Structure formats: structure tokens, C-alpha cells
Amino acid sequence: MENIKWEISIMHRLNHLHIVKLFEVLATKTKIYFVMKFVKGGELFAEVVKSWFGEDLSHKYFQHLISTLSYCHSSNVYHRDLKPKNLLLDENGDLKVSDFKLCTVTKQIHPDGLLHKLCGTPAYVAPEILAKKATAVPKLMYGPSA
């Protein structure tokens, strides 16, 4: 229940073109429902399996992802489970980031500047996480100031 409350609080904080919008949360005694924007195109994973992406399309998706991560990081939110199954495509072929249940926020960073809760999907996490070491909070460097 705490994880669900956490994800809801994060999703309510975030408002970005490339993040799946959470409209409402409904609950019964046994279930919780997220009412979210319908993302018609499905998972990026399905597209990766189906076909090869050209440079232009890859660049578009990368720009959408970097824009989203920059926004999240400026909002002190760090996703920590980015993978093709958590990246959705809308009807226009635009990327939408979903699934913030493993994210963290700046206040969870230890005094040493590291995160000590190790999590993520093994096939997509950094080697230091697999080695069970603490991880630094990611810093994005891109654009004109990079």
C-alpha cells in the first residue's frame, strides 16, 4: 500500500508532455485503480522487437526521453526503472514515460550523495547496482550548457 501511495504522490507532482497523465485514483476495499491517459501505441518494447529504428526515429525518442528526464530531475524525481516496457508510444508516435513506482526523490539521498536502496529491472540496471553498491544520483548533461 505504501508503494502505491508513493507512486500516486509522484504522479500527481509530475506534469510533462512525455509522461503518462494520471487523472484520478479510485479504490474499493480490495483494489486500487489508476485512471490515466490512454496511450494507444503500446510499449516501445513491442516496436523494438518488431522492427529496426532508423536514426531519425531513434533521435526523436531520445529527445523525448531526455526532455522528460530533465524535467523529472529538475523536479527532484529520479525514475530508476527506465526500460522499453515503461516507455509507451501514443497515436502520434510520441514517447510517454510510465511506471514511477521505483522512483526516488532528492530527500532520500544520503549525506554521502548516494542512494542506498538498490532496485530496478536486472537486464536494464547499471553494473554497480548489480554489484550491490550504492549509486550516485544521475546528473544529466546535454544541450547548450553541456
**Residues with a known catalytic role:** 81
At 62, list the grid cell. Answer: 531520445
Q: Which helix (H) or strand (E) holds 47?
A: helix 44-50
Q: Look-up: residue for cell 542506498? A: 116
Residues 6+ apart with CB under 8 A from 88: 20, 39, 41, 42, 43, 44, 95, 96, 97, 98
